[in-house]
Amino acid sequence: MALPVKEQAKYWGIAAVVFFALLYLLGNVILPFVLGMAVAYMLDPVADRLEKWGLSRIAATILITAVAVVLFVIVSLMVLPALVKQATGLVETAPQLLDDLQAFLTAHFPGILDEDSQLHQTLLQIGDTIQSKGGEFLQTALASAMSVLNVAMILVLVPVITFYLLMDWDRMVAQIDKILPRDHAPTIRRLASQIDETLAAFIRGQGMVCLILGTFYAVALMLVGLNFGLVAGAIAGALTFIPYVGALFGGALSIGLALFQFWGEWQWIAAVIAIFAIGQFFEGNILTPNLVGSSIGLHPVWLIFSLTAFGTLFGFVGMLIAVPVAAAIGVLARFGIDEYKGSRLYMGLEADTERGASSDPDDTAS
């Protein structure tokens, strides 16, 4: 006999509280495991396809790992040095860019920057803040980044965890299936399948969109000669994972850099604007419809809210799990709404009337 709904809700609620409590307490300790699980999840379809072609699971995992290592080495040698150099240069020249902005506004809009104007005072305060706090902030940020994403974890721990998870992924899924509550196993499998489809459509598709747009922005900005074009394009591509944020932030950064560098050469400023206009056209009309699809069930506002909320509560780990949790909540919410619409709470007396009408033919026949 199944447990009453009230008892089931209590136990599932306790499980959810324990999960989020552990996530909050462990924090960055579980970061390599979350990263490894995310990578293994994305690569599992590749391993499944290789198995269908005749390879064993261990052979497929070794082949995928070898290809990933080769690609990582190639990218490290070709792209990362230039990316790190430009990113470092952009951070170092940030105070100078502010001074250039003040000089630019003074030269071209002298009336705006009157010494008694509010804008002038605001720029002076921003400059003083950057000079006094900028070094301290950067030092703290770098120290935090190194403590969270240290070299040993990235180069050793995450690949090892990914390797073992990828090798045993199907086995782990089968073991989890065996311990599902028997009364609810079919429903849980159906919901899990819907969540998997949503995640696959979003993460893999949006990841390809980020890669394609990031490459396009970086190459195009470098071809027009924009200083820091590589890092601006990489930032725009990476932030494309959050709908609209990548284009807005990357576009604002690139156009701002272009105004400083190409003032008076309007054709180059127009070229930078055109690059992002073309990128947005292809993303909205070709890339996203074909790679992500329109039925993943993750509204941009819900996605941004989940990233903000989980990032605030659980830090970087929270941002990593925000998308899968948001997808799961979306699927569960739609399931709950469907159940509610079929319940007496929603239908009221109409449900009894329909049931009575449907039973009349049987009564007559009897």
* pLDDT tens figures, 233-275: 888 888 777 666 777 888 888 887 787 777 667 788 888 889 8
In angstroms, what CA-CA distances link 243 with 77, 236, 313, 316, 351? Answer: 30, 11, 21, 19, 42
Which own/partner contact pairs does 267-274 have at CB distance under 8 Å and 24+ positions apart? Answer: 268/224, 268/225, 268/226, 271/224, 272/221, 272/224, 272/226
Which pLDDT does position 146 carry in this prediction? 47
Higher pLDDT, 356 or 12: 12
Residue 2 is classified by DSSP as P
Is a pLDDT exceeding 60 seen at residue 161? yes
Contact 163, 65 (CB under 8 A): yes
Instruction: Return the minimum-mean-pLDDT range out of 40-49, 67-76, 146-155, 282-291.
Output: 146-155
Smallest Cα–Cα separation from 189: which of 326, 335, 51, 302? 335
Q: What pLDDT score was predicted for residue 193?
A: 87
Percent of the chain with pLDDT over 70: 67
H-helix or E-strand spanning residue 249: helix 245-262
- Alpha-carbon distance 310 to 316, whole Å? 9
| pLDDT tens per residue across span 165-212 | 889 888 898 898 888 888 778 888 888 888 888 777 777 777 888 888
Instruction: Tell whether the model's pLDDT for residue 358 goes beyond 80.
Output: no
Q: Residue 42's pLDDT is what? A: 82
